[in-house]
Amino acid sequence: MAQQQHLTLNRTGDKMPFVGFGCWKVENEAAEETVYNAIKAGVRLIDGAGDYGNEVEVGRGINKAINEGIVKREDLFVTTKLWNTYHHKDNVRPAFEKQLKDMGLDYVDLYLIHFPVPLKHVALETAYPPGWYQPNGATEVEFERSPMQDCWREMEKIAESGKAKNIGISNFNVQLILDLLTYANIKPAVLQVELHPYLQQTRLVEWVQKQGIQVTAYSSFGPASFIQLTDDGKTAEPLLGHKVITDIAAKHGKTAAQVLLRWSIERGVAVIPKSMNVERTRTNIDLFSFSLDKDDLEAIAKLELGLRFNDPFSYGFGLPLFC
């Protein structure tokens, strides 16, 4: 069954694989071999971030695969993200250059603004990555007056330099995107957001795609990476074991993970699953030998709960970002 395995990005026409490997929560000591093995297994999109704290090791894994001739650099699509403490126009480029140096790369294929949250600057030499709180022991997040327009201008300069072939955004809502589009000289190529059957965000996905912006889903397995509690104390059944998902998997002779990932691809949305197991990684990228039918999609649509797991407010930061 031949199917399109890439999304085409605006402005550059670059091809972004539909399925990649996410580096969030990959421990430093395992990151080099994990990324190297993922590339050996056939992964061509590596999704990382400065905030993950493992870019040195991720870069080593990428370069090991390149140096051994498993892939050429141009065969890979590498994504990373600008952290919140570097939104000021004077801090965007130094943070990016550090990330390139950490990964040992001459360029990245996609550079995203991680969150639309301008946190108070933390110098690179003071703490890296600094996380959400100031390294002075603050118990509340501290913001700075760094307009998104200024930050985006610096992102555009990086794109124009060729060191980031494409630029984009993550965790932005429609209002923020609409505002950005009024001043952007370079339209975001990609929006990355939390998407799974418990949080389907259909109107957001469809509107963004109509703007010519591609969408990448993170946390495709829902509560698998998060505490399995909603704000009102109700438990969320793990999607990987949900009867609707496992029944569809059995029907197609696939795994529950493949069904959840294929569900996003059916919507024209890229996915970046993570597994420390090479065989599961191979399975996770095997998404083009089957399709979900109308009955499958209707059954999954009924799982919508509006249930968001990656929410700064629920982490105690006092920031209702998605309200």
Annotated binding site for substrate: 114
> Is residue 52 among the annotated active site residues?
yes
Tell me which residue of 259, 257, 248, 251 sits closest to 279, measured CA to CA.
257
Distance (Å, rounded) from C-alpha 158 to C-alpha 172? 20
Annotated binding residues, as ranges?
A: 114
Q: Nearest 10 degrees: CA dihedral of 244, 249, 255, 257? A: -40
Tell me which residue of 57, 42, 52, 61 sits closest to 22, measured CA to CA.
52
Q: At what angle do helices 92-103 and 148-161 cross, to 10 degrees?
A: 40
**What six digits make up the tokens of 59?**
């870069």
Residue with tokens 């990245």: 108
How many CB atoms lie under 10 A from the CB of residue 139? 8
In contact, 82 and 96? CB cutoff 8 Å: yes
CA angle 183, 313, 50 (to 5 degrees): 60
How many CB atoms lie under 10 A from the CB of residue 194? 21
Annotated active-site residue in 52, 86, 111, 128? 52
Q: Nearest 10 degrees: CA dihedral of 279, 283, 289, 292? A: 160
β-partners of residue 221 are none
Phi first, then psi: give them for residue 297, nearest 5 degrees.
-65, -35
Distance (Å, rounded) from C-alpha 214 to C-alpha 8? 8
Tell me which H or E stretch contains 98: helix 92-103
Enzyme catalytic residues: 52
